[in-house]
A and B are shown apart, each in its own frame.
Chain A
Amino acid sequence: MSKNRGRSKIKKNRCFVAFRAFSCELDEKHDRHENIVKLSRDITIESKRIIFLLHSINTDIDSKKLSVLEEAGKRLQTLCDNNFKTIAKELIGHDPYLYHRAFTSGMQEFIEALCFFQYIKNNHLESWNAVNINFQYNDEEATQFQLLFSQYDFIMGIADFTGELMRKCINSLGGGNINDCFQLCNFVRAINTGFLGLIYSGNRELSRKAYVLRQSLNKMELVCYNIQIRGSEIPKDMLLNVIESQDIDSDVDEGFSM
């Protein structure tokens, strides 16, 4: 009997020891996940600030435009070189897809800011390959590592970016830059065409973004329509009020106030 009890104790200890090890393993995973979530949140905040900064560009004054662009460019580069690099370092030796959910929102927000910057600066967007180069890193010991830059994050970042263009379009109208409105509208239309041509099955996130994109586009087209049809009737700065009053049922404004 006593022999039996001794054996069961050993068995119990084995179970105990195994679960101790599991506990450590799970904790380590959770900690890393939490850590990356925190890093990603910082990136989101900084990206939002950069977007806000880019909105402040008044296209009439060239020198101001240049200085804002320079600052935004620097800050975007800092995000790549520091914040994203920290995440990439954290993920060395681990399957990045396991932690992808932890930093996907920061990545999308960053792409939104980057696209906005590229659009204002060069009037066009860089391809995934060109952007991906930013996420290749070299260590002091010349070991190479990289951050997972999901194609989905890229496309969804672009979808979010059209929301910024919609705001910019309305801002431009307020500022009287009517040409900009048409140009912005055309650009978003091109992106919408791209989304319409995609065949993706079952990605709910992507279809939701495509829906919001269409809402933004509708709003911009309404702006352009009003400029075209009433442009000669009332002063330009009044046009905004006309559009605002027509557009009561639109709820895609995300708390944006004029």
Chain B
Amino acid sequence: MAYCNKVITDIFSPFQEHINAEQDVRDEIRTIMKDIERSLREIVISLQVIHSEIDCEKIHNSILKSRELFEEIRKGYDALDKIIPAGQYYRYNDHWRYTTQRLCFLASLIVFIEKGTLIDRTTTEQILGVHKKDNIHLDLEDYLMGLLNLASELSRFAINSVILGDYSRPLQISKFVAELNAGFRLLNLKNDSLRKRFDVLKYDVKKIEEVVYDLSIRGLTGAGQSQEAVTKTAE
């Protein structure tokens, strides 16, 4: 019996304290993530407009609204930064990894619609509010995951653009995704989740190419119409 007490006081009681303390931090993180995820869902909904509207004004408004909602998200990450102990980002990483990937995707979609360019890493960090923070940062893998999600969304966007009669958009998307694809081919991916997600990219590329093919075979990529649309997006 003396053994028993000693083993418990020396080994198991400190361990229990350790788990309890960790649990407290995790609970706080979960509360913050709930807020971030709420804003995330609102942005997702707001951006769905691009699939059903061609009116620049409406799209512009939804982008503005999303940008505003990102303000909430930045507050969330700010709070997160204060809770995570220094150098322990990856200890609690599971709580926000997926959400961060989704947010990277949304940020990249916004930038694509606004400027038609690929979002860079620093911009993503700034939009999410993790730029130059003490204890949190943007993981490269999460950023890349976001870009892969973007490619899937754009393949849908290409199809819906055609439905709405915008025949120049698919060409722009096709070029953009081709560049993205070329970029990803430079990476030596391990057999991990990023690799599995990357394997989907070729199907997205294929889908977009099919749309472009359908358009060009019918002569719908012709100068007049697309020129007009190109200048529109350039503005």
Contact = CB atoms under 8 A, between A and B. Distances in A.
A154 interface: yes
B7 A194 contact: yes
B182 interface: yes
B4 A19 contact: no
B9 to A, nearest CB: 9
B19 A199 contact: yes
Contacts of A23: 186-188
Interface stretch (A24-32, A45-53, A61-69, A246-254): A24-32
Contacts, number: 107
Contacts of B28: none
Contacts of B120: 18
Contacts of B15: 128, 151, 154-155, 198
Given A190-B8, A198-B12, A97 B188 contact: no
Interface residues of B, number: 38
A186 B3 contact: yes
A96 to B, nearest CB: 8
A127 B17 CA distance: 13
B12 A194 contact: yes
B128 to A, nearest CB: 18
A230 interface: no
Interface stretch (A9-17, A168-176, A213-221): A9-17
A98 interface: yes
Given A16-B183, A186-B3, A95 B89 contact: yes
A97 B7 CA distance: 28
Contacts of B187: 19, 22-23, 26
A256 interface: no
A37 to B, nearest CB: 12
B140 A97 contact: no
A163 B23 CA distance: 29
Given A22-B140, A26-B188, A198 B7 contact: no
A194 B88 contact: no
Contacts of B190: 30
A144 interface: no
B213 interface: no
A82 interface: no
B215 interface: no
B98 to A, nearest CB: 17
Contacts of A212: none
Interface string A188-206: 0111011101111100000
A98 B89 CA distance: 8
Nearest to A20: B186
A186 B8 CA distance: 13
16 contacts: A16-B183, A18-B120, A23-B186, A23-B187, A96-B87, A97-B93, A125-B7, A128-B14, A154-B11, A158-B11, A187-B3, A194-B7, A194-B8, A194-B12, A198-B16, A201-B23
The 8 closest A-B pairs by CB, nearest first: A19-B183, A194-B12, A97-B90, A190-B4, A98-B90, A97-B91, A190-B7, A151-B18
Interface of A: 8, 11-12, 14-16, 18-20, 22-23, 25-27, 30, 95-98, 100, 124-129, 151, 154-155, 158, 186-187, 189-191, 193-195, 197-201
Given A14-B118, A23-B187, A197-B8, 17 more contacts: A18-B120, A18-B121, A26-B189, A95-B87, A97-B90, A97-B93, A98-B89, A100-B90, A125-B7, A125-B10, A128-B11, A151-B19, A154-B15, A155-B11, A158-B11, A191-B7, A194-B12
